[in-house]
Amino acid sequence: MARPDKAAAVAELADQFRSSNAAVLTEYRGLTVTQLKTLRRSLGENAQYAVVKNTLTKIAANEAGINTLDDLFAGPTAVAFITGDPVESAKGLRDFAKENPNLIIKGGVLDGKALSADEIKKLADLESREVLLAKLAGAMKGKQSQTASLFKALPSKFVRTAEALRAKQAEQGGAE
């Protein structure tokens, strides 16, 4: 029979897996408490970084319907539960890992899809959601102005063509 404190820990971890958009597993062996605090700050406001027990976390992930992480629960493991924009937190992890080689990104899950460590690094290379939305809005506005210019040019071109045709007809009529 499971102890109540372990059952509560599994339930809490399962809730975190369910409520997160993404979860990234890391190995933190060799990092100091100060470095871990710095890492937590670098992840942003929408992420929670927790050192976890492998067995309990594996059970919690399976309860949450995530079976793809089972192989990653080996060695000292910590999980970054991301509730907001995963790009911001992935950048924080990548940048911290560059400065502190003891942090190893093992892999993770994004919206139910398993991610390898390389895929998480590619995710970190993306621009943030706000930047991508701004670029999309700018592109849409650009297309709208091109369309407006086209519609504005059609009547004026028609008038110039009609005027040229009238002038040519007047020229030909006056030449006879």
Per-residue tokens: 66: 């995530």
| Strands 104-110, 22-27: pairing kind | antiparallel
d(CA 29, CA 146) in angstroms, rounded, equals 56
What confidence score (pLDDT) does residue 1 get?
A: 40
Please tell me whether the overall predicted TM-score, pTM, comes out greater than 0.85 for this model.
no
What confidence score (pLDDT) does residue 120 get?
A: 84
Judged on CB neighbours under 10 Å (0-12, 13-18, 19+), 168 is exposed
From residue 147, alpha-carbon distances to 66, 133, 136, 153 in Å are 47, 21, 17, 10
75 backbone φψ class: left, alpha, beta (φ>0; ψ -120 to 50): left
**pLDDT tens across 14-46, in order?**
888 888 888 899 888 888 888 888 888 888 788
Judged on CB neighbours under 10 Å (0-12, 13-18, 19+), 121 is middle
**pLDDT tens across 65-98, in order?**
888 888 888 888 889 898 888 888 888 888 888 8
What confidence score (pLDDT) does residue 175 get?
A: 57
The Cβ-side half-sphere exposure at 97, using a 13 Å CA radius, reads 20
What confidence score (pLDDT) does residue 127 get?
A: 72
**pLDDT tens across 108-153, in order?**
888 878 888 888 888 877 776 677 778 788 777 777 777 777 777 7
Residue 163: pLDDT band with limits 50, 70, 90: confident
Residue 2: pLDDT band with limits 50, 70, 90: low
